[in-house]
Amino acid sequence: MGGNAKTAPYNGHAPVFLQGASRGRCSPLQSRVFLHIVEEIFGEALDLPPEEREAFLDEACGDDLYLRQQVKILLFLVHRIG
């Protein structure tokens, strides 16, 4: 991974207490932790050149498509708003 990216805290493997958080079945604490993870990955992806983001998301989100979708929505909105 090039650029200034740090190692993402999630890396596609949710701790046991977060399982289900990305599918809407979670407690308020799990929701806050999941949102924090989304924010962390989003912030790191935003710091990267656009051409490096997909590879970063592959590493950071693993096979969690919902997590990836949430980060990509934020990236799209930032790009759209400009």
- For 26-69, how does the pLDDT look when each residue is reduced to its tens digit (9 = 90+)? 788 888 888 999 999 999 999 999 999 999 999 999 999 999 99
**Nearest Cα to 37, choosing from 6, 79, 71?**
71
What was the pLDDT predicted at 73? 96
Q: State the burial class of residue 70 (Cβ atoms within 10 Å of its Cβ: 0-12, 13-18, 19+).
A: buried
CB 53 within 8 A of CB 41: no
Give the domain ranges of the chain: 26-81
The predicted pLDDT at position 22 comes to: 55
Q: What is the pLDDT of residue 57?
A: 96
Q: Is 70 helix (H, G, I), strand (E, B) or coil?
A: helix
Question: Where is average pLDDT lowest: 3-7, 16-20, 27-31?
Answer: 3-7
Phi, psi of 29 (to 5 degrees): -65, -45
Question: For the whole model, what pTM was predicted?
Answer: 0.72
